[in-house]
Amino acid sequence: MIVIFWAAFFLVVYTYIGYPLAILVLSKTRELSTQVELRDWPAVTIIVPFCNESGRVHPKLATLKALNYAGDVQIVFVSDGEEDDTAEVIRRCAASGVDVVILPARSGKPAALNAAMVVARHELVLFTDARQMVDQDALRSLVTSMLSYGEGCSQKVGAVSGELVFLDENKDEANIGLYWRYEKIIRQAESRYGSVPGVTGALYLIKKEYVRPLADDSLLDDFEMPLSALRAGERIIFDGGARVFDYPSENIEKEKARKIRTLAGNYQAFSRNAWLFVPLINPIWWQFISHKVLRLIVPYCLVALLVAPLFNFYGLYMWLWFAQVAFYFLAVGNVRGWVGCKRGLAAIARLFVELNVAAVMGAYKFYFGVVDARWERTA
């Protein structure tokens, strides 16, 4: 049991501390690519799927029309079924030069994206969701990152992820906490070192040649879509200057359901892309295993860390067991709003526990088939 305890301990520490430090250090060994000012801006197709979101159609159109981009832009709005008046509102957008696709019945986001790609005319495709507002310079930044980073580099860029920024009620950038900043640092380091294992679904640009039809039951289009570019040897990078704005969900339960769905999608994507686990095929095998896979294993390591000391309940192992119990006690205290447990370590403990519980629930929902590709609004 001692071997199990320390193996679990080092895996957890590596996943959340060792790997981030390693990728950060290694990223410093790579020179930053110099972006160049483009003279000829390529044409871009922008695809936005809607599902029972009629109130978001015109605000989304306005934010896309306001983009500071000199190249030709095709906007494609697709309605996933006609359950409310969303389809009719989208049809009226045709008068504003929008290409309209209406699915006869609700089929899910993957089917909506597949249908929209049929009418896509240009070689660069921008995917963005209905809810978020896009910064006026975001498209310009994404295109510049994709095309200029390839000049003089051995690897071209096949996809570029934007950055999702949360706003507060005053429309200022919200203080979304330590974890989100931690994730951003990792993504920036992975991007500089080579590639990020996935993009931000709210805003990403990809070469049309790498857009493959998604299975209708796909849960993570933003993870699966760029994989063909990665397998072809092109990079997937993160552009923190291409921003898309949203507000944090006020419905905690729906936000938890979204997180569980995302983690269930990881299991699904892994099962369909076994090549990701082969070092000789996956060019970012180390990043993929460290960032994506090990986080799904951590919950079971935490159980081992809690159980193993009970078989050697003395000295160091006894104190480590009590430390874990105290950590989880702080998490419970934060949930219940106990005095002294509303911030700091207690808030971190709660977030850590919730993320790992979501990983277990995601596995359960995937393996027992209780998750649906037809998405539900979380905000």
Flag whether pLDDT at 35 surpasses 70: no
Flag whether pLDDT at 173 surpasses 80: no
pLDDT one-digit tens code per residue, 84-114: 889 999 999 999 999 999 999 888 899 999 9
| Gap between the Cα atoms of 267 and 359, Å rounded | 10
Position 165 confidence tier, pLDDT thresholds 50, 70, 90: confident
- Output the average pLDDT for the chain: 88
For 96-105, which contacts have Cβ atoms below 8 Å and span 24 or more sequence positions? 96/61, 96/65, 98/61, 99/74, 99/75, 100/76, 101/76, 101/77, 102/78, 103/78, 103/79, 105/81
Position 210 confidence tier, pLDDT thresholds 50, 70, 90: very high
**Three-state secondary structure call for residue 177:** coil
Nearest in space to 82 (alpha carbons), one of 101, 99, 59? 101
In the prediction, which pLDDT does 252 show? 65
pLDDT one-digit tens code per residue, 232-281: 999 999 998 899 998 776 666 777 777 888 899 999 999 999 999 999 99
Q: Residues 284-312: what's their mean pLDDT? A: 94
| In the chain, where the domains are located | 1-28+252-379, 44-248
| Gap between the Cα atoms of 51 and 377, Å rounded | 9
Q: Residues 8-19: what's their mean pLDDT? A: 97
Q: Residues 144-169: what's their mean pLDDT? A: 78
- Fold for 44-248, please state it: Spore Coat Polysaccharide Biosynthesis Protein SpsA; Chain A (3.90.550)
| Gap between the Cα atoms of 121 and 81, Å rounded | 23
Flag whether pLDDT at 67 surpasses 80: yes
Q: Using an 8 Å Cβ cutoff, are 233 and 155 in contact?
A: yes
In the prediction, which pLDDT does 77 show? 97
